[in-house]
Amino acid sequence: MRYVVAKTKTVTNAGISDSGHRTKKGFIIINEKEVMNSDFLEGDFEARVQILGGTTYTNVEINNIINEGGWNYGL
């Protein structure tokens, strides 16, 4: 599973809810499945991440980022 960190506003504009996601200072963590299931995005995974202006991380990498602290769950 891959994860994406992108601006919350961009992600919600792409039809992905911020509810139940970790957020920090205007950024959100979403997973590969959410990126691929968005009807507002086109192309393969990498193209969709580029549209979101996000950065892709592996499971280990995203866990390290989360462990740095400051990430809160959206309601």
Q: Would you tell me how many other CB atoms lie within 10 Å of the CB of residue 32? A: 15
Considering its fold, how many domains does the chain have in total? Answer: 1
Q: 0.85 cut: is pTM over it?
A: yes
Domain that holds residue 36: 3-73
Mean pLDDT of the chain: 96
* Type of residue numbered 74: G
Task: Answer yes or no: are the C-beta atoms of 18 and 27 closer than 8 Å.
Answer: no
58: tokens are 């592996």
Mean pLDDT by 10 residues, the chain (75 residues): 98 95 98 97 98 99 97 82
